């Protein structure tokens, strides 16, 4: 069951705010403010300290949080998980492409908030970033810059770091399971019986196709498929469209925001 109370709503709202570092401001410090600016900042900080106030940078925090998801996509994830709990749709939850683990931390938080102890959150990732060019068997995946100029390093987050992130939220336990490696190698034989929510965030054509082929047959009727990049990366959209067409899936695709979509498995 997923009966929301003001306390569960407040807790999950707080988790989302922290995952996104929403409205968190960075202390303004060197080397942002050098020279005369630096001295002015120092004077300002001294003057404000007795008042318990400090100068902060107006520049956004950027990728400081545990997720790249928008607030709308986090809200959608929470809503899908709560709906399957409410409707008693059986199965575990998975994200393929977890990066720092933010979306999966939210999944685990939703289970915790509703006192659910018989479902597992699965995290599938290479934990070393996107497949390198020479591992990309599809031409379409070699033509797109999936790191969008942010650099490959940003996407290389090892499993230990993700475990630490879960621990910071007090949510690391045996309801959290890691599938470490390339989707094509880990997903087909993954020890998952049934899924209620599958969230795909591997961006690429092959990463999206591999996740759909291995996991969709395990999705319960009434379960949700969420695709983070359907309206952002053409290769991702193509993999989804081809899979739906090959498997005669006609469930309506709903937009979440200008990038993500989801559908509910009806037949
Ligand atoms: C955009 S990030 C995921 C963002 C994350 N869901 C969040 O909450 O911010 C994409 C992730 O997919 C992983 N990935 C992409 N293709 C993969 C593949 N074929 N096998 C394993 N991991 C893959 C990358 O390592 C990266 O962590």
pLDDT of residue 35 exceeding 80, the answer is: no
In sequence order, what are the residues at sequence separation of 6 or more whose Cβ sits closer than 8 angstroms to the Cβ of residue 240?
208, 212, 227, 230
Cα gap 24→251, rounded to integer Å: 39
Query: For residue 256, what are the CA distances in angstroms to 85, 129, 227?
Result: 20, 25, 9
For residues 98 and 124, what is the distance between their CA atoms, to the nearest angstrom? 7
Dihedral angle sign, alpha carbons of residues 135, 139, 140, 142: positive
Ligand 1 center from residue 183 Cα (angstroms): 10
- Which range, of 1-15, 63-77, 203-217, 244-258, averages the lowest pLDDT? 1-15
Q: What's the confidence (pLDDT) of residue 56?
A: 55
Residue 36 has pLDDT above 90, yes or no: no
CA-nearest residue for atom 27, ligand 1, is 99
Residue 52 has pLDDT above 80, yes or no: no
Residue identifier of the C-alpha nearest atom 7 of ligand 1: 67
**Eight-class DSSP state of 228:** T
- Mean pLDDT (whole number) for 99-120: 98
Distance in Å, CA 188 to ligand 1 centroid:
17
Q: Output 62 or 18, whichever has higher pLDDT.
A: 18
Cα(145)–Cα(115) distance, rounded to whole angstroms? Answer: 41
Protein residues with CB under 6 Å of any ligand 1 atom: 67-69, 95, 97-99, 102-103, 125-126, 129-131, 155, 182-183, 201-204, 207
260: nearest Cα among 94, 73, 8:
73
Ligand 1 atom closest to Cα of 67?
9
Phi first, then psi: give them for residue 122, nearest 5 degrees: -100, 135
230 C-alpha to ligand 1 centroid (Å): 14
Mean pLDDT on 92-119: 98
Scanning the structure block, which residue is given the tokens 């002015």?
40
DSSP string, 28-58: P-TTSS-HHHHHHHHHHHHHHGGGT---B--
For atom 20 of ligand 1, which residue has the closest CA?
182
Q: Locate the ligand 1 atom nearest the alpha carbon of residue 99 and give its number.
A: 27
Q: Is residue 104 over pLDDT 90? A: yes
Entry pTM: 0.88
Residue 7 has pLDDT above 50, yes or no: yes
pLDDT tens per residue across span 222-253: 999 999 999 999 999 999 999 999 999 999 99
Whole-number Å distance between alpha carbons of 19 and 31:
26
Provide the pairing of β-strand 121-125 with 195-200: unpaired
Tokens of 214: 């291995």
Q: Please give the number of the atom of ligand 1 that sits closest to the Cα of 97.
A: 12
Expressed in angstroms and rounded, the spacing between residue 180 Cα and the centre of ligand 1 is 11
In angstroms, the Cα distances linking 185 to 32, 66, 73, 82, 210 are: 44, 25, 28, 30, 9
């Amino acid at each position: 069951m997923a009966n929301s109370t003001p306390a569960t709503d407040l807790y999950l709202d707080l988790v989302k705010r922290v995952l996104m570092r929403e409205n968190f401001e960075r202390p303004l410090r060197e080397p942002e403010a050098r020279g005369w600016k630096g001295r002015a900042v120092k004077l300002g900080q001294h003057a404000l300290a007795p008042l318990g106030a400090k100068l902060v940078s107006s520049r956004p925090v950027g990728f400081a949080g545990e997720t790249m998801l928008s607030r709308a996509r986090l809200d959608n994830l929470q809503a899908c998980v709560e709906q399957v709990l409410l409707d008693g749709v059986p199965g575990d939850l998975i994200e393929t492409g977890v990066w720092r683990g933010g979306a999966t931390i939210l999944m685990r938080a939703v289970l915790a908030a509703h006192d659910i102890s018989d479902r597992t959150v699965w995290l599938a990732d290479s934990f070393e970033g996107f497949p390198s060019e020479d591992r990309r068997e599809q031409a379409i995946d070699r033509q797109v810059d999936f790191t969008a100029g942010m650099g490959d390093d940003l996407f290389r987050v090892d499993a230990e770091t993700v475990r630490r992130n879960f621990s910071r939220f007090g949510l690391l336990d045996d309801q959290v399971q890691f599938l470490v490696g390339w989707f094509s190698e880990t997903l087909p034989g993954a020890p998952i019986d049934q899924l209620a929510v599958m969230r795909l965030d591997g961006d690429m054509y092959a990463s999206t196709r591999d996740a759909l082929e291995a996991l969709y047959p395990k999705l319960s009727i009434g379960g949700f498929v969420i695709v983070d990049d359907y309206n952002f990366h053409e290769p991702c959209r193509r993999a989804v469209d081809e899979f739906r067409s090959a498997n005669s899936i006609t469930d309506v695709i709903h937009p979440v925001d200008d990038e993500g979509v989801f559908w509910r498995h009806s037949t």
